[in-house]
A = this chain, B = another copy of it.
Amino acid sequence: MSTSPATISASGSTTDRVGSLADVHEAAERVLPDLPTDPVMEALDLNVYYGDFHAVHNVNLAFGRNEITALIGPSGCGKSTVLRCLNRMNDLVAGARVEGEVSYHGQNIYARGVDPIAVRTQVGMVFQKPNPFPKSIYDNVAYGPRVTGMKVENMDDLVEEALRGAALWDEVKDKLKQSAYGLSGGQQQRLCIARTIATKPDVILMDEPCSALDPIATSRVEDLMISLREDYTIIVVTHNMQQAARVSDRTAFFTARPDETTGNRTGLLVEYNLTSNIFSNPNDKRTEDYISGRFG
C-alpha cells in the first residue's frame, strides 16, 4: 500500500528523500529583515535560577511584531523557563529567580511597580496540555474578560468573536453551555487559545501547544497560529523541529551545557536566526547536530 510522491507533496516537500527541514520551511516563509526591527519584547542578559540551580544563562533575544518565533532545543535546555519569564509566570514557581531584563514595549516588566497581573493580561499564554477550566465552554472564554474587569458591551459577541478567532465556533456553537471537558484534545487546545485571545492580549506565548494532539488537530492549530500572526506576536516552544520549520519566522536554538564541577545542566541560547537560515544553513555545529537528529 505505497503512496505516490505526488500525494505527499500536497502538504509540503516533494522530494523522495523524506523530511528535509529546509524544504518544509519554504511553504511558510515570508520576507523579513535579518533581525526584528521593532521588537515587541526583548530578553536582555536573562539569567534564571531555581534556588541554587542556574537554569538559563545570559539569554538575549528580540521578538518581532506580528512574527512567530520558535524556541527549540533538547529537553531541559530552558525553553519553557525562558518563555515563562516573558509574562512573569515564573513568579509562581517557588525559588525561581530572574536576573536581567525583559522589556515589553521598552518597559522592563521586572521593574519595580510593575504588576505581573497587568503583564499577563497583555502577554497571554497557551500551555502544553490543554487546560480548560472545569466550567462550560462559554464560561471558559468569558473567564478572562470577567476577572480582568474588561469593559464588555456584549459578552456573547465577545465569546463568539474569540471562538471564531480560534476556529472553533462552528464546532461548539450549539453546546456553549456544556462542559469544556466534553471536547476533544484538539478542541480543548483551541478553546484555550480562544480563551486567551478573548482578553485581547498583545503577545501570545505557547509552550508546546501541539505535543499532546493528534496529527489532524496539530495541523489545525498550526494553521490557526499562522492566521493569528496577523493580529498578535507569537512565541512558541516546540520540540517538533518540523513544526518550527512549518510555522515560525524566526527560530532560537537552545541547548544545555553541564557544569564541570556540579554536573548541573545550564541552558543557553546557541543560535538565533531566520527559520530558513537555521534549518538550511546553521552556523553552529550543535544546532546542526540537533536538527539532524544526532541527539535530543
Chain A contact residues, CB within 8 Å of chain B? 1-3, 7-8, 11-13, 17-22, 24, 74-75, 184, 211-212, 214-215, 218-219, 240-243, 245, 256, 258, 263, 265, 279, 281-285, 288-289, 291-296
A240 closest partner in B (C-beta): B293
Chain A contact surface mostly: loop
Q: How many copies of this kind of chain does the complex include?
A: 2
- Bound Cα distance from A21 to B15, whole angstroms: 13
Are A294 and B20 touching (Cβ within 8 A)? no
A214 near B283 with CB under 8 A, answer no
The answer to whether B17 and A184 touch across the interface, beta carbons within 8 angstroms, is no
Beyond A21-B18, A284-B1, whether A294 also contacts B74 by CB under 8 A is: no
Known: A1-B283, A285-B7. A291 touches B18 (CB 8 A): yes
Centre residue among A2, A211, A285, A292 by max chain B CB count within 10 A? A292
Nearest CB of chain B from residue A143's CB, rounded to whole Å: 25
Return the contact of A285 from the options B3, B17, B20 (Cβ within 8 A): B3
Is B8 touching A293 in the complex (CB atoms < 8 A)?
no
Going nearest first, the 8 A-B pairs with the smallest beta carbon separation are A242-B293, A215-B295, A3-B285, A19-B292, A18-B292, A2-B283, A17-B20, A218-B295
